[in-house]
């Protein structure tokens, strides 16, 4: 076990079942998964935990994912943290184009398979190490 097995991932998502699912998939691979139930809590946890990676849902009631992303990138202390955006399949193509402009590290669409999630996380974290 090298330290890579203990990467901290923060999942910002307003559906608790989704956080549980992501935790189940990633913790079997040795990642430590923290959950935040929405954008406001997410921003606080990003500042507290300084995770290695943020999984960010775009559609949340209190503060949407874009706002979380912009706040993260505006803060010197958190702007280097990679972000994988999780979007619903139905979201419009301009959101996805926006991701490229915003230089998000990756994105996955719900519903995703465990393989897709792992591949995305490993790809993004692999680029960093």
Helix (H) or strand (E) holding 53: strand 53-57
pLDDT of residue 2 exceeding 60, the answer is no
**Per-residue model confidence as pLDDT tens digits over 50-96:** 999 999 998 888 888 889 999 999 999 999 999 998 887 655 555 66
pTM greater than the 0.85 cutoff = yes
Nearest-angstrom CA–CA distance, 45 and 97: 27
Helix (H) or strand (E) holding 84: strand 83-88
Residue-range domains of the chain with CATH:
3-128 (3.40.50.2300)
Q: What is the CA radius of gyration of the chain?
A: 13
**Per-residue model confidence as pLDDT tens digits over 15-39:** 999 999 999 999 999 999 999 999 9
Per-residue pLDDT band at 113 (split at 50, 70, 90): very high
Nearest-angstrom CA–CA distance, 4 and 126: 10
């Amino acid at each position: 076990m090298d330290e890579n097995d203990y990467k901290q991932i923060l999942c910002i998502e307003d559906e608790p079942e989704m956080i549980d699912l992501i935790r189940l998939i990633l913790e079997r691979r040795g990642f430590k998964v923290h959950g935040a139930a929405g954008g406001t809590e997410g921003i606080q946890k990003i500042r507290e935990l300084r995770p290695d990676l943020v999984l960010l849902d775009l559609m949340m009631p209190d503060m949407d994912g874009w706002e979380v992303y912009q706040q993260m990138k505006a803060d010197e202390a958190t702007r280097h943290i990679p972000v994988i955006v999780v979007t619903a399949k139905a979201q419009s193509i301009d959101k996805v184009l926006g991701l490229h402009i915003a230089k998000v590290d990756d994105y996955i669409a719900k519903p995703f398979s465990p393989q897709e999630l792992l591949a995305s996380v490993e790809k993004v974290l692999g680029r960093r190490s």
